[in-house]
């Protein structure tokens, strides 16, 4: 008896979450066409998957943001109690 599509999809998602050292989480979002094309081009140019590129860019952006914060504000940042304006801290 064939496995229903919903079960196949659930198994696929579960496998892929576990493939990242058991630390994966699913992120569903819609981005603009320009951003998607930029992601594809950047990933290709750097020889990375789109996921690897996004992870690298996010980690780098966070490192620059934290480095620009005064030490007393870093705890607030990590506990998500800090709201930064888009141009208040330039990475």
Task: Answer whether residue 50 is part of any domain.
Answer: yes
The parent domain of residue 16 ranges over 5-78
Task: Answer whether residue 60 is part of any domain.
Answer: yes
Task: Answer whether residue 90 is part of any domain.
Answer: no
Provide the residue-wise pLDDT of the chain in tens; the chain has 91 residues.
Answer: 888 999 998 888 777 776 656 677 778 899 999 999 999 999 999 999 999 999 999 999 999 999 999 999 999 999 999 988 755 544 4
Task: Answer whether residue 85 is part of any domain.
Answer: no
Distance of alpha carbon 83 from alpha carbon 7, whole angstroms: 41
Distance of alpha carbon 74 from alpha carbon 10, whole angstroms: 38
Q: How many domains does the chain have?
A: 1
Residue 20: the pLDDT is 59
| pTM, entire model | 0.71
Residue 21: the pLDDT is 65
């Amino acid at each position: 008896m064939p496995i229903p599509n919903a079960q196949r999809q659930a198994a696929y998602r579960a496998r892929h979450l576990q493939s990242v050292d058991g630390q994966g989480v699913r992120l569903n979002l819609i981005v603009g066409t320009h951003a998607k094309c930029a992601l594809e081009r950047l990933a290709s140019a750097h020889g990375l998957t789109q996921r690897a590129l996004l992870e690298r860019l996010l980690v780098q952006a966070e490192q620059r943001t934290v480095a620009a914060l005064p030490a007393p504000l870093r705890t607030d940042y990590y506990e998500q109690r800090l709201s930064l304006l888009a141009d208040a801290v330039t990475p």
